[in-house]
Structure 1
Amino acid sequence: MFLKRLDRYILKIATVAAIVLLVGLTSVIWVTQALREVDLITGKGQTVLIFFTVTLLSLPALVAGIAPVALFMATLYTLNRLNSDSELIVMNAAGVAPHRLTRPFIVLTIATSLIVCWMTLSVMPAGFRMLRDLITLIRADFVANVVKEGQFVSLDSGVTFHYREKSGDALVGIFMQDRRDPKQPSIYIAERGRTVDVDGNSFLMLEKGTIQRENRQDTTSIISFERYALNLSALSGDPTGGSGEGDGDKVTYKPRERSTWALLNQDPNESYYKLQEGRFRAELHNRLSAPLYPIAFMLIAFAAIGEARTTRQGRAVALQSAILIVSATRIGAYAAWTASVRSSFAVWLLYILPLAAIVISVSLIVFGQRLRPFLGRLTAPLFAPFNLLAARLRRA
């Protein structure tokens, strides 16, 4: 009964701390990202509802990235609080082994890993896909309602749009230059055009015009048309994201916008997959390895300060070590994710880093009394300059 009450007590402190940290950190980062999208209202004439929808769709990615860090910080806070209030000393005196205290943290860690797993495998790609579709609709509305008559407006990097005047719901005298691919720029000229929605995709229906393309052999081809459907996903700034040519073209979604099931069952003959095979591989394994990091971060924190210590026993050094190790693991994982685009070997690092941290941390938790003195002597020189600086600041 005592141990169950103790587990609930520790779990309550850690859970509240993790939720507060997760909400706080996510809110701060979300606000900074939301400020970047103010142009949706000021420059593209969208409503406040569209503004919040676009910014909220990025929340799953923020939660998945911040949750392991929030769990790590909550574990440090809880253990430090228990030690400061001498509760860890009382627990040890009562015969509670240090590794026994991991039970409430393991419960919280499993919950966090499940949330991260759900976000990365399901919610996050669905959110990115909805965001892509919404941005396409916003650009369609931007072309039809925001671009002023007679003005040349840059919609995205390398894309310039112009129309002479508006007649009802039609645009007259359309000119669009697409230089996103410097090797094959295109110019669209049409007498008239209007935006339409077909099966959830927005098209600019052009009438009586030409398409001029510069080929790789420094020659120019001119195609005349009576009617032409330009998929507005071509204005997304990604030249490989779908050319939008023809009536039946569909948006080509990027790897992060595809479901995990689609990545697992990817058609190897798809042309976009052949061009971006490395990105597909990196995205899939980054999602599959994400749930391991909350486990690794919690165990690192517990291995560092899970035992009762005084300030003279190097608790500050243990805290600094835990922070540095978690930072190095997170940076290493990001580097491995980036490298896995070009190297299939780097994919293994996405799993090796958290698994190695888990094995080493468990060893320290179980055999801590034997290993910590050796590790303390090994890492002390690294923190000596910081400790000396802190001592001087206290004297001053």
Structure 2
Amino acid sequence: MNRLDRYILKIAAVAAIVLLLGLTGVIWVTQALREVDLITGKGQTVLIFLTVTLLSLPALIAGIAPVALFMSTLYTLNRLNGDSELIVMNAAGVAPHRITRPFIALTIATSIVVAWMTISVMPASFRMLRDLITLIRADFVANVVKEGQFVSLDSGVTFHYREKVGDALVGIFMQDRRDPAQPAIYLAERGRTVEAEGQSFLMLEKGTIQREAKNTTTTSIISFERYALNLSALTGDSSGGPGEGDGDKVVYKPRERSTWQLLNQDPNESYYKIQEGRFRAELHNRLSAALYPFAFMLIAFAAIGEARTTRQGRMFAIQSAILIVGATRIAAYAAWTASVRSPFAAALLYILPLAAIVLSAAFILYGERLRPVLARLMAPLTQPLIGLAARFRRA
């Protein structure tokens, strides 16, 4: 890497790091404010609050890093053009695709970080967050909920006990309406929170479980002498988290499982049979994430990688690049959502960035030939817009 490459790489890398830290910090603060209830409502320490919020950082970094790279590429190329450095390079015989070398080096580093986050760090952080929330929930039930109060533990879960005798809760009532099709009510004379094998349980004694089927008047009542309610079940969402009937085994969601577990998934697992589409979507979303930094960088370079003297043409190119990247990201999210139901949609997670990479690379290498063709194709769309803008200027 010569001096020119190091010069461009320094500008782009500093801009990418500043953008990544700034965007991540702003979004992290907004998410952290949503968790203030851990301190104010659930009686947890500042350390627990910071731990819970910091565990969301890997997901933020993985999502923001490609966007930060795209913005840094636009910034660097616009700065080089504004200082006439691109014009000097072009006059010195430096081809536009030759300038991509420092950006490709930065993109490879970004792609490695994104792949590491999505394949390894994110699943581990989600798993740690699940376990930590379970412990917080157990501590909240045992030590924070006040006697005689009805408290919402989660969306659709209400907990109440009459009094506390020693470490036992007496007169327990819990209503679980997270599944509208089968709401459940737990009644027990007493219970206590216990930990076993790193998991937290609410051990209920002498009670009943009442379940009512939707659109029927049938109510099933199950009596028990002892019942272990896995508190990790209360941390699941309604989109596919395991229910309380999972016994003493915690069933982790697809995003909480390692990539190796997703690749070697047991097809006979009952939870996998119910949520096979989510497992497929999660796996392909992780494996395709590393392609998007290359797609976004090349889109930015294809838009403004060549020297231009007109400010209007350059601004139009920047706006077009932003729209293309936004459309690509939205389409990728739609493909990820659709891949839960369709294996073909999972293939789109790879097709979208690869198509952007191929088309952008072709435009960088053969821009002089493709630009007139693109102008003719876009003329029916751009002419009405130009006429409308001229009409507004005259007005």
TM range (shorter): over 0.9
Q: Give the corresponding residue for 2:114.
A: 116
Relative to structure 1, is the Cα distance of residues 390 and 20 closer, same or farther in structure 2, using a 3 angstrom cutoff?
farther
Give the whole-Å Cα distance in 2 for the aligned partners of 1:395 and 1:130: 62
Counterparts of 1:144 and 1:138, CA distance in 2? 10
Could you say which residue in structure 1 is the equivalent of 2:290?
Answer: 291
Specify the alignment match of 1:158 in structure 2.
156
What CA distance in whole angstroms lies between the structure 2 residues aligned with 1:47 and 1:376? 61
Whether the aligned pair in 2 keeps the contact of 1:317 and 1:380 (CA below 8 Å) is: no
Contact 2:228 2:248 in 1 (8 A): no
- Counterpart in 1 of 2:85? 87
- Superposed CA offset, 1:189-225 (max 9, x none): 1121111111111101112222223357743333332
2, 8, 15: which is aligned to 1:10? Answer: 8
Q: Which residue of 2 aligns with 1:242?
A: 242
From the superposition, tell whether residues 282 and 364 of structure 1 become closer, same or farther in structure 2 (CA, over 3 Å): same
Aligned position for 1:73: 71
Give deviations 1:106-153, integer Å, cap 9, x for gaps: 000000000000000000111111111111111111111121111112
Kindly provide the amino acid, as one letter, of the partner of residue 161 in structure 1: F
Map 1:1-396 to 2 at 5 A: 4-215=2-213, 218-238=217-237, 240-245=240-245, 249-311=248-310, 314-379=313-378, 382=381
Q: Give the CA deviation at 1:374.
A: 3.0
> Quick one: percent identity of the two aligned structures?
83
Deviation at 1:45, TM superposition (A): 0.8
SS of 1:290's equivalent? helix
The whole-number CA distance in structure 1 between the counterparts of 2:34 and 2:379 is 43
Deviation per CA, 1:289-323: give whole Å up to 9, x if none.
Answer: 10000001101111111111111672122111111
Which whole-Å CA distance do the structure 2 matches of 1:388 and 1:112 have between them? Answer: 42
Instruction: Report the alpha carbon displacement of residue 386 of structure 1 after superposing the two structures with TM.
Output: 7.5
Partners of 2:387 and 2:8 in 1: how far apart? Answer: 34
Does structure 2 retain, via aligned residues, the 8 Å contact 1:204–1:229?
yes
CA drift of 1:158 comes to 2.1
After superposition, the Cα gap between the structure-2 partners of 1:361 and 1:163, relative to the gap in structure 1 and judged at 3 Å, is same
Tell me if the contact between 2:155 and 2:178 (Cα under 8 Å) persists in the aligned partners. Answer: yes
The one-letter amino acid paired with 1:243 is G
User: Relative to 1, partners in 2 of residues 1:124 and 1:386: Cα closer, same or farther, differing over 3 Å?
Assistant: farther
Q: Deviations over 1:256-311 (max 9, x none)?
A: 11111111111111111111111111111111110000001101111111111111
Could you report, residue by residue, the CA deviation over 1:311-348 in whole angstroms, capped at 9, with x for unpaired residues? 16721221111111111111110111111111111111
Structure 2: 5+ residue stretches without partners = none
* 1:393 to 1:46, Cα distance in 2 relative to 1, 3 A: farther
Structure 1 range deviating more: 139-148 or 11-20: 139-148
Cα displacement string for residues 35-58 of structure 1 (whole angstroms, at most 9, x for unaligned residues): 111111111111111111111111
One-letter code aligned to 1:274: K
Change (3 A) 1:32 1:234: same
Structure-1 separation of matches of 2:376 and 2:74: 22
**SS, match of residue 2 in structure 2:** helix
Distance 1:193 1:394 in 2: 75
Q: Flag the 1:389–1:214 CA change in 2: closer, same or farther, 3 A.
A: same
Please report the TM-score for the alignment, with normalisation by the length of structure 1. 0.93
- Kept in 2: contact 1:57–1:128 (CA 8 A): yes
**Offset at 1:154?**
1.9
The answer to which of 384-393 and 205-214 deviates more is 384-393
Instruction: State the distance in 2 between where 1:10 and 1:388 align.
Output: 39
- State the secondary structure of the residue aligned to 1:279: helix
Q: 3-state SS of the aligned residue for 2:251?
A: coil
Residues in 2 aligned to 1:379 and 1:26: alpha-carbon distance in whole angstroms: 37
SS in structure 1 of the partner of residue 44 of structure 2: coil
Instruction: Please tell me the residue identity of whatever aligns with 2:260.
Output: W
Q: Matched residues in 2 for 1:213 and 1:382: separation?
A: 60
CA gap of 1:320–1:387, structure 2 versus 1, over 3 A, is farther
Q: Relative to 1, partners in 2 of residues 1:312 and 1:55: Cα closer, same or farther, differing over 3 Å?
A: closer
* Post-superposition offset of 1:94: 1.3
Distance across 2 between alignment mates of 1:198 and 1:387: 70
Residues 1:36 and 1:313: Cα distance change in structure 2 (over 3 Å): closer
